[in-house]
């Protein structure tokens, strides 16, 4: 079973749930798995423990997920689905800021400065809101670490990265960057790093370093003169 997110299909490996009550039970199992990861990490995931956390019979977890790899992988896919909405919101705000300027305005230094300020504010808000949701960041880090040992999860993480970076690439393509793919790598990597630094206590949410880092990243990615046409900007 796949989920269309606009650019890349996120794949579910477990058994498909047909009826409404079955879908609710399957969802409860996935959410219980995520709660257990917060409490105990990936190594705490066992069918019996998940069934107890989800308040479902043990047979339900083994029915929908034949093994732990499917359960862990599908839990990550479910987790990513929920998180993509915040990335889409950041994308929509960024697109709106860029489209409010004509191609000629975007080529001017004053308009470029305004765009950098707006994007910096959007990214800072996104990073802070992500970092403040400590449980989700713990889950994400647990999955990414486990992916180094789990080939099925590695593919899921790769598809998750691709989904997020595709949204970023669209924005950088709108601005006419010559290499929007590399720009998306830089932006995504910086955001993940900052979230981790905040979570670990290395950088405070209100640290000037956080704002300086985001400002430098955005400033470096947006060229002084953006060679984008009106057709590209609004098409």
Give per-residue pLDDT as tens, 156-200.
888 888 888 888 898 888 888 889 999 999 999 999 999 999 999
How large is the average pLDDT for residues 79-108? 73
pTM for the predicted model, two decimal places: 0.75
Confidence of residue 101 (pLDDT cuts 50, 70, 90): low
Look at the block and give the residue holding tokens 């486990």. 146
Integer Cα distance of 88 and 94 in angstroms: 10
- With H, G, I as helix, E, B as strand and everything else as coil, classify residue 2: strand
Contact assessment for residue 184 and residue 177, using Cβ atoms and an 8 Å cutoff: no
What are the tokens at 143? 């999955």
How large is the average pLDDT for residues 34-59? 94
Report the share of the chain in percent with pLDDT over 90.
Answer: 47
Integer Cα distance of 172 and 44 in angstroms: 40
All domains in the chain, ordered by first residue: 2-234 (1.10.357.10)
Inform me whether the pLDDT recorded for 225 exceeds 50.
no
Integer Cα distance of 106 and 155 in angstroms: 38
How much is the mean pLDDT over the chain? 84
Task: Look at the chain and count its residues.
Answer: 235
pLDDT score at 21: 85
Inform me whether the pLDDT recorded for 232 exceeds 60.
no
Q: Crossing angle of helices 109-132/208-221, nearest 10°?
A: 130
**Higher per-residue pLDDT: 150 or 232:** 150
Give per-residue pLDDT as tens, 25-43.
999 999 999 999 999 999 8
Confidence of residue 223 (pLDDT cuts 50, 70, 90): low
């Amino acid at each position: 079973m796949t989920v269309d997110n606009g650019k890349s299909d996120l794949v579910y490996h477990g058994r498909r749930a047909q009826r409404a009550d079955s879908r609710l039970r399957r969802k409860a199992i996935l959410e219980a798995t995520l709660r257990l990861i917060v409490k105990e990490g990936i190594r705490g995931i066992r069918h019996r423990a998940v069934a107890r956390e989800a308040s479902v019979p043990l047979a339900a977890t083994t029915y929908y997920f034949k093994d732990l790899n499917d359960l862990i992988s599908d839990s990550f896919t479910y987790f990513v689905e929920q998180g993509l909405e915040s990335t889409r919101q950041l994308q929509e705000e960024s697109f709106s800021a860029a489209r409010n300027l004509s191609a000629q305005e975007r080529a001017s230094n004053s308009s470029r400065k305004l765009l950098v300020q707006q994007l910096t504010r959007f990214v800072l808000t996104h990073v802070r809101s992500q970092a403040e949701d400590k449980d989700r960041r713990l889950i994400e880090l647990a999955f990414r670490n486990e992916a180094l040992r789990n080939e099925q999860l590695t593919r899921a993480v790769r598809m998750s990265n691709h989904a997020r970076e595709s949204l970023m690439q669209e924005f950088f393509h709108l601005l006419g960057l010559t290499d929007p793919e590399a720009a998306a790598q830089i932006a995504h990597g910086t955001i993940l790093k900052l979230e981790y630094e905040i979570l670990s206590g290395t950088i405070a949410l209100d640290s000037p370093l956080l704002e300086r880092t985001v400002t430098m990243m955005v400033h470096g990615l947006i060229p002084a003169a953006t060679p984008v046409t009106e057709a590209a900007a609004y098409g």
